[in-house]
Amino acid sequence: MHALGWDVQARVSIAEKDWNGAEANIEKGLALLERFDIPTVAWRLHATRSELYRRLKNDDAAEAHRTRAESVILTLANSFEPDEPLRHSFLAAGPVRRILTPRPSGRSVRERR
């Protein structure tokens, strides 16, 4: 729960444009993930860091963290049987789909809509 809390706090910091606070919160969450294997939170922290880097116009770092989040998501999804309804629900969830569908560089989700 602590790692998830750091992710939430990082997203609040991003909304407030407190880039340093967001980075510090992400680091605290990732430090917990070094001690404990929590894939259900790991993908979220990497997704949040990806979003932070996108806002800071660091596209290479943003894509690297999006890719890490994607890898964790696919590992989680593949832990279910192919026809498992929970697997399909997980992969269809909005936050998961946003990670699995890379953004064209330089364009935000809003600009693509």
pLDDT at 106: 45
pLDDT tens for each residue of 34-75: 999 899 999 999 999 999 999 999 999 999 999 999 999 999
Q: Is the pLDDT of residue 6 over 90?
A: yes
Closest by CA position to 72, among listed 15, 11, 25, 3: 3
Segment 94-106 mean pLDDT: 80
pLDDT at 105: 55
Q: Give the residue, 104 or 31, on which the prediction is more confident.
A: 31
What does each C-alpha distance from 85 to 8, 26, 52, 64, 101 come to in angstroms? 27, 31, 32, 29, 21
